[in-house]
Structure 1
């Protein structure tokens, strides 16, 4: 599947994305940002503001950058007053060294890092942090593992489960991040140190209907032809109706927020 087509699919479902996608575990956001006072944070590929709102709650200085106008409209509704700029990871509309932290919530895997990596390094101050955050379902729980089997990669992809996200994301920072020369060659495309990964407990209150609606906002589902999409969501709905954990009203979808963090040299 064309990555660009998948990445651009969300605007058509911006309202559903804003309604159904989860926020991020506050502890994960704090770990990604760090504790320096007055930190300047760029939320890159900010979407509908799921991560932006958590950053505002932390009291940091936030700028959100998002290319899709429909997603921006939802972001402005969700987080009024935040600074929002049109732009993308491969062409960030900020000056050199203007932020201390660049975060991407469920977005880093959509970036063309051959272009976006040097661009992120450009806007980061020396010693700054780049971090990707992903909300992943806990497939160590039996019924969630069953949901993964029914939904397949379209609904629950390779970065969407606890068992798979680490391997799927570890190489998403700039290539050869742990092999840059010391002292670093500032002309080299790679200006980041080795990556760190961490996981933080999280969860989302759902019903069977709202979980189906959540999975319907996945890129792999959005781009399916309508008959295939309806059939897939029907199988997921039938599975949830047949499970004691999910058939009787509200339940907590067990999740973690996974964070991949690298620091600029």
Structure 2
């Protein structure tokens, strides 16, 4: 594979790689367990009624929050992703904007949720903006869905789909600190995603490390992954529940 360039260049390419795949992202990415959303909201010491879904993508997290009866505003920097969100969730206010310049008034929400995106942010200015839009005692909540690599066949599948640039995504789960917030707490929740071989490969094809990989690398990786899945009893025929773990980190605004 050709040299992917510097860490900063690769990070920028990956962060901007999703828009062209907005429809596929919406169809194939997993949602988040409701218990994880409720745990995140319980980190606030005020009633959580108005919520910001920051870097909302196509609305996977937005839909879950709205389903819990919260008033949700979605903010997303990619116009194609935002259009897909509005098509799927027409009643949700949806604004074009980024974490480092959130287009909401001061002290306007009780919680800020970030699904599968905090690692793309410039953290210091993003947390300053998150603190600005949160009411006192509100919570910031970050979530990531991961393969459950405690399951042997999932561990091997995850190894196969890593490309030569996957190493640049290491460290998503970091020890977070942010000015104006209390300490971050972390919890994990078992989750699953109903898939077939075709739909699981479609899901991993929306991951940034494959979106920015060269076409030959991507094709070889997906071919090896298909061959492996066809050999595994749990996945060889029909649909199956793909095991996930959802990691949640929350902190309270002072």
Report the TM-score when normalising by structure 2: 0.91
In the alignment, which residue of structure 1 is the partner of 2:173?
A: 169
Alignment partner of 1:79 out of 48, 66, 89: 89
1:155–1:218 Cα contact (<8 Å) kept: no
Per the TM alignment, residue 219 of structure 1 is displaced from its structure 2 partner at its CA by 0.3
1:113–1:172 Cα contact (<8 Å) kept: no
Alignment partners' CA distance in 2, 1:47 and 1:242:
34
Alignment partners' CA distance in 2, 1:259 and 1:87:
23
Give structure 2 stretches of 5+ with no counterpart: 1-6
Alignment partners' CA distance in 2, 1:205 and 1:93:
35
Alignment partners' CA distance in 1, 2:75 and 2:167:
25
Alignment partner of 1:208 out of 197, 203, 224: 197
Alignment partner of 2:215 out of 203, 226, 232: 226
Q: Equivalent residue of 1:129, what SS? A: strand
In the alignment, which residue of structure 2 is the partner of 1:181?
A: none
Structure 1 residues 107, 173: CA separation in 2 closer, same or farther (over 3 Å shift)? farther
In the alignment, which residue of structure 2 is the partner of 1:182?
A: none
Alignment partners' CA distance in 2, 1:158 and 1:137:
17
Q: How many residues align?
A: 244
1:158–1:168 Cα contact (<8 Å) kept: no
Alignment partners' CA distance in 2, 1:249 and 1:143:
17
Alignment partner of 2:157 out of 147, 167, 182: 147
Alignment partners' CA distance in 1, 2:185 and 2:48:
23
Write out aligned runs for 1:65-144 (5 A). 65-144=75-154
**How much is the aligned-residue C-alpha RMSD, in angstroms?**
1.9
